[in-house]
Structure 1
Amino acid sequence: MAPVASAMPAPANGVHSQEVEESPALPAVAAKKMDPSLKFLIYGRTGWLGGLLGKLCEKQGIPYEYGSGRLENRSSLEADVAAVKPTHVFNAAGVTGRPNVDWCESHKVETIRANVVGTLTLADVCKQNGLIMMNFATGCIFEYDEKHPLGSGIGFKEEDTPNFAGSYYSKTKAMVEDLLREFDNVCTLRVRMPISSDLQNPRNFISKIVRYQKIVDIPNSMTILDELLPISIEMAKRNLTGIWNFTNPGVVSHNEIMEMYKEYIDPELSWVNFTIEEQAKVIVAARSNNEMDASKLAKEFPEMLGIKESLIKFVFAPNRKTKAASK
C-alpha cells in the first residue's frame, strides 16, 4: 500500500524554492508576437507554479525572464530588476518543505529566511522601483472555528485575521502576509491545496491523496491552477493589489475528489478514512482545514467556475481513462 505522506522521511538537503522539482521542459509553441507593453520577472524557476507561469507567458506572447537572484540577497534582486526591466514581478518562490510542511518544523531558520526575509526583501525592492509584485501566498492560515463552522458555507474573507498556527510553515506565511499589508504595490494571492491537470506531478493535491493509505474527509477550499493561474496574469495586467482569496468558489471534500478520480480515472481505486485525531499521530505539524470566501475574486472574474465544476472541466474530463456513461 502507498505510504501515508506525512509519515515519509524529510529530505536531507535544504529546500530553496517553493517547489524544488524541475518543471518539465516547455512544449514547442508557435512563435507569437510579443506584447511590448508587458515584461514579467518571475521567481521560482524550478518550482511548480513558476514553471507553469513561464508556459503561460509563452502561450500568451508575454515577454518574461526568470530571476537569478536569491530572495534574501537584496543586491541580487536589484541586479535582476536593473537587467530585466520588468513591468511586473511574480513571486512563486519560498519554502513549503519536502516531502511536506513537516520539514519546516525542523528547519525554522531556513523557513524564515525564504518565507519572511526573502519575500519582504523582494516586496521592498519592487516598491522602490515602482513595480507591482504578484505574490503567491497561502490560505492555510485559517481553520474552521465558531464564526466559520464546517459545513456552514461561511468562508474566511480577505480582511480576516489568521487563526491557524499549527505548523511553522503557516505561522511564517501569516506573519509575512500581515507585514505585506503595508506595501501598496503587493498583490497577495492566497492559494490552497493546489490542483492541476498534470496528475503525475507529486505536488498536485490529487496526486498526493491517491497515494495515501488513509485520508481525512473534510471539505476544503482549493485552487485549480489551470483556471486560476491565467487569472493571476490578468490581475497583473489590471494592476490589482491587496489580498485575494485565490481559490475557486465553494468547497470539496477529499472523498468527493476520490470519487471523481474513481469515476474518471481508476474504477479500482479504494481508500480508507481516518480522523483528524488519528492523523495527528502520524504527522509532525497540524494541517489547516477551512473554507475561503472567494466572492471578491468572483466579482472581478465572474466567469470563474465553482470548485467542483472546475475540477471536472480542467482536471478530470481531460484526463478521463474510463468510458463515459451513456445517457
Structure 2
Amino acid sequence: MGLKTENGSEASGFKFLIYGRTGWIGGLLGRLCTERGIAFAYGAGRLENRAQLEDDIAGNSPTHVFNAAGVTGRPNVDWCETHRVETIRANVVGTLTLADVCRERGLILINYATGCIFEYDGKHPLGSGVGFVEEDTPNFVGSFYSKTKAMVEELLKNYENVCTLRVRMPISSDLANPRNFITKITRYDKVVNIPNSMTILDELLPISIEMAKRNLTGIWNFTNPGVVSHNEILEMYRDYIDPKFTWKNFTLEEQAKVIVAPRSNNELDTSKLKYEFPELLPIKESLIKYVFQPNQKTSAS
C-alpha cells in the first residue's frame, strides 16, 4: 500500500508507517494523520516476518515507524494464559524483529507498550502518590501478557532507536468502543474500586505523534498525571451520561474468582512526560474535557 496524504502533506516531510491497522490505537493513529495532513501507510507485513517488514519499509520509505500491533487477548488478557506461543510470537518476537529492522535502517520506532507491569508495593503504596518511574524494574508477573510485555521492554532498552510508551487502561471519547476502559467497566456486573494511572487517548495519541517529530526515544510513562478510581469514573459517567446508571463493587478477592489471571493496579510517575509536554492535563481534568463533556449533549438528545 502506498503512502496516503491529505491537504498536500508531502510538504511536511513526515511519512509514518503504522502497524496495527485493525487495532483500536492503530485505527485512531491513521485518523489523526489524515486530519493533520501527515502522509502515512499501514504496514502489510506480519511483525514476526522480517522479510515482509523490510518490504514494507523499502516500499514506503517512512521517516518514522509506529507499532500499535500485538496481542492483548479477546475478550481480555486471560486469553493469553492459554495461547502462550501466539502471545510470544506477536508481543516478543514480532516487536523485537520490527525494532531490529528499524534500527538497521536508522528509523525511530514508536512502540505502544503497557504500564501494566507494575503493582502497588511497599515503596509505592496505594494512595501515597508515589508512582513508579521509567527506570523502575517491573514487579508485576501475575499475567502471562504482562510477563511478555516486561520481557520485551527490558530487551528494547538496548535499542537506541525505540521510544517505548507505557499505556495503561486506555480511554477514549468513543464510548461505544468495547476496548474503551470506561465502556468495559460500565458493562461489568461488578467492579473493583482501585485508583490507577490511565491513558486518555484523545489527549495522548497526538502527543505521541509530536514525540515522533521530536525524535524522542527511551521509556516513557504514557499516562495522564495522577490516578482515578473505578468509582470516580462511574460517578462521572452517571453525572454526564446516564443519570440512572448504577453499579456494584466487589473486592479483589471476589474478583479473583471470576478471572483467570490477576490484574495490575498501579500509579505511574509522569514527571518526565509532563516536563516535555507541560500542557498535559491531570487524569480527572482530561476525562472531563476529552471524554465526558463531548458526550454530554449526545446523551441528552
- TM-score if structure 2 supplies the norm length? 0.96
Query: Where is the helix percentage greater, Structure 1 or Structure 2?
Result: 2
Equivalent residue in structure 2 for 1:179, among 126, 136, 155? 155
Partners of 2:145 and 2:165 lie apart in 1 by: 16
Structure 1: stretches of 5+ with no match in the other structure: 1-28
Select 1:270's aligned residue among 246, 251, 254: 246
Contact 2:6 2:38 in 1 (8 A): no
Cα distance between partner residues in 1 of 2:72 and 2:230? 21
Q: CA RMSD in A?
A: 1.4
1:17-28 map, 5 Å: none
1:9 aligns with none
User: Secondary structure of the residue that 2:295 maps to in structure 1?
Assistant: coil
Cα distance in 1 between the residues matched to 2:276 and 2:263: 30
Structure 1 residue 36: Cα displacement = 4.2
1:101 correspondence with 2:77: yes
How big is the shift at 1:239? Answer: 0.1
Residue type of the partner of 2:27?
Answer: G
Q: Aligned runs of 1:23-38 on 2, under 5 Å? A: 31-38=7-14
Contact 2:6–2:34 (CA under 8 A) maintained in structure 1: no
Q: Give the counterpart of 1:158 among 134, 140, 146.
A: 134
Instruction: Specify which of 242, 251, 255 is matched with residue 279 of structure 1.
Output: 255
2:6–2:39 contact (8 Å) kept in structure 1: no
Identify unmatched segments of 5+ residues in structure 2. Answer: none
**Corresponding residue of 2:216:** 240
Find the counterpart in structure 2 of residue 47 from structure 1: 23
The code of the aligned residue for 2:291 comes to V
Residue 233 of structure 2 is matched in structure 1 by: 257
Identity of aligned residues (%): 77
Normalising to structure 1: TM-score of the pair?
0.89
Which whole-Å CA distance do the structure 2 matches of 1:292 and 1:140 have between them?
10
Residue 203 of structure 1 aligns with which residue?
Answer: 179
**1:213 is matched with which residue: 172, 189, 213?**
189
Name the structure 1 match of 2:119: 143
> Which residue in 1 is equivalent to 2:103?
127
- The aligned length equals 296
Q: Does 1:90 align with 2:66?
A: yes
- Report what 2:47 is aligned to: 71
Q: Could you give the per-residue CA deviations for residues 191-230 of structure 1, whole angstroms, max 9, x where no partner exists?
A: 0000000000000000000000000000000000000000
Q: Which runs of 4+ in 1 moved over 2 A?
A: 29-36, 321-324
CA deviation vs aligned residue, 1:239-276 (integer Å, no higher than 9, x gap): 00000000000000000000000000001111110000
